Structure formats: C-alpha cells, structure tokens
Chain A
Amino acid sequence: MSEWIRWAFAVLFFAAGFVSIAVSIFGVFRFRFVLNRMQAAAIIDTFGMFFITLGLVLLSWDMNYIPKLLLILCFTWVGSPIASHMVGRMEVRTEKNLSQYMEIRDLTQENPENAAENHVPEQCREEEEGKA
C-alpha cells in the first residue's frame, strides 16, 4: 500500500516538474531579451530539478540512490545562480545597445553623493584596461 502512495506522490512531483519545465521553455521562447530569457531558464534549475529529483527519490526509495540524488540537487542549486550570474554579466558587459532594452540610470548625475562611491568601479576598470 505504501508503495502505491509513494508512486502516486512521485508521479505528482514529476507532473509538477514538467509543468515548471514547460513554463520555463515557453518563457525562453517568448521573451525577446536575454536577461528575461535567463530568468525563465533559471526555473529549470530550481523548481524543475527539485521536483524531478524528489520524484526520483520517492520512486527509488533506496539508500544507495537517495544521498547521491540529493547531492546532485545540491550541486545544481549551488551552481545554477553562479551560471546565471555569469550569463547576465556577460550580456551587460558585451551588449552595445543595452539602453534599447532597459532604462539605465546614471546615479552620479541623479545624486552627487553617490558619485564618489560609483567612481570606484570605473577606476578599477581603467586600471584593468591599463594592465591589459
């Protein structure tokens, strides 16, 4: 009896996982800008992987499999935000016409108090360029 209940919950989790993946894929093809698409793609690594791994844990119910499955989930959850951050950073650093897609506020113009604080990254960048 408990096996049937486990199977039912596993199927429920798989369904939830595939709904998350479907929403994510829809977003990846629907959005027009890569930072929006990235947001949609991140759902796969969080909700999608969580539900599918949980479904697999319930389906296997074996201590040879469960710790490794949970480790895979942990690695995905640790790695996904870093990968997303890198893709976002890559877009911001390399897109020439970024202001077409979003409003970029120059905080040094709006509030002079921020000028000194915001000047530091610019200096660092100049130094980096000087070294290169």
Chain B
Amino acid sequence: MELLKHYTLVAVIGLLSVAILFGLVRAIRGPRRPDRIMGINMIGSFSTALLAALALFLRENWLLDVCLVYGLCSFLAVVILSKIHISGGREDRDGKEESSLYE
C-alpha cells in the first residue's frame, strides 16, 4: 500500500511539473503583460500544489509551512505587479507620457 501511495504521489508531482511548463510557455509567449502575469499566477498555483504533494512524498511536515508562505508570496507578487502596471499604464492609454515607474 505504501508503494502504491508512493507511485501515486510521483505521478501527481510529474503531472504538476508538466503543468508548470505550460504556465511557463504562456508567461514567455505573452503577448502582453497581463498574459505574462496570468502565466506567473498559474505557475504559483501549480507550485503550491506541487510543494504540498512533495511534503507528503518526503513525509516532511515543515514543507507544508513553506508551501503556505509560497502561496501567499505568489499571490502578493501578482497583486503588486498588477498595481505597478496599472499605475504606469493608465497614462499610457490617455496618450500621455509613461510614468516614472518604467524609467
């Protein structure tokens, strides 16, 4: 039974790794910044799930704490990147010069 659980977790970790690659492709291909940030958000979600599976696979309880903090940091990164882009891009749409955040 332990061996079966082991192989199940290996399969889950492998499939999540493949999913992370798809997120990376979306983040690289873009074509615009919101697409890239969405790709980063996807990678963050997959990594959180992967870390949780890894915690069970290695039987290390502390990895779940890492996973929790990683999930929060990933969410915070998306919100902050969006905020930065909005503050720089609003003047973009109105045809004025770009904000100093991009300089």
Contacts and interface: CB of A to CB of B under 8 A. Distances in A.
Contacts of A91: 34
Main secondary structure of the interface of A (DSSP, over half): helix
Contact of B52 (A25, A56, A79, A90): A56
A79 to B, nearest CB: 4
B38 A25 contact: no
A80 B79 CA distance: 10
A3 B22 CA distance: 34
Main secondary structure of the interface of B (DSSP, over half): helix
Contacts of B67: 68, 72
B38 A59 contact: no
Given A37-B26, A82-B75, A86-B83, 8 more contacts: A14-B8, A14-B11, A44-B46, A56-B53, A59-B8, A87-B38, A90-B82, A96-B92
B49 A69 contact: no
A75 B89 CA distance: 29
